Amino acid sequence: MFHCSRYVLTGLVAAVALAPVPAVLAQGLEIAPIGIDLADEGDTLVQAALVIDSAPVFEATRLGATPVAARAAVGLPQPSIIVGLIAPGQEEEFGLATLLPATVEQISFSLDDLAAREALRENEPILFERLISEGHLDPDADQLNAVLQTELARMNCYRSGIDGAWGPGSRRSVGEYFDEIALVDWPDPAPTQDLFRAIILNGDVECEIPVAAAPARRTTTSTAPRSAAAPRAAAPAPQPKPAAPAAKPKLSIGGSGVLR
């Protein structure tokens, strides 16, 4: 039997409650108050009886109560009382749905720290996915557009100014990003936290920079003066016609028969 004075719970602590609670069956534990008189009125010691060999979790029994958890220990008598903190990264062992603040503080990184980002992705892929999927790194709403433009510009998908204005160039950059990722279809180019998380989770790509089309070749027109045309050959001078033969004297024969 234990005597418990009032104190402040600073974390997820197992097996001690600060107010009378009804008997409750938690995940793997049967919890009931111990009926003893304590020095400080209102304090109650709670007995936790293990009923299965697992890592059970206490449920909150009143508004504002701090959830507590216990892990089954080999060789301990039953009922057992185990007091301690859940270490960062042990949420899955205790069935916690989200990361603890201490875990987030330990593994979070600045968005511009690409080395820390890739190290966590490679070394702790499950924690990395939970950190992003649960929204622990979501930018503020008024910074979301600029953050997305910065991420997409770093990968050559966005090629305009980082101004937070989500226009045609920003929407087109979303399509170019997902064109580089196989088996991922993202039909909505609107700036959302879901889009931000998808880009961080899928990682970097290298968008191709469009090559400007070569200008059409223009036909050049020579401005040099044309060379003077060669003079035409002079037509041959007309040949003089041959002179007509001299007229022969005519003989006139009169009726008198006299030759003249």
Taking the chain (260 residues) in runs of 10, the rounded mean pLDDT of each run is 35 39 47 50 45 50 52 58 72 87 94 96 95 97 97 96 96 96 91 97 92 70 58 64 56 43
pLDDT tens-digit readout, 187-227:
999 999 999 999 999 999 999 987 776 677 776 665 555 55
Contacts of 123 (CB under 8 A, 6+ apart): none
Map residue 17 onto helix, strand or coil.
Answer: strand
Q: Could you tell me the CA-to-CA distances from 134 to 67, 127, 186, 195 in Å, in that order?
A: 20, 10, 20, 13
Q: pTM value?
A: 0.54
Query: What is the domain partition of the chain in residue ranges?
Result: 1-85, 101-202
> What is the reported pLDDT for 253?
41
> What is the reported pLDDT for 246?
56
> What is the reported pLDDT for 27?
47
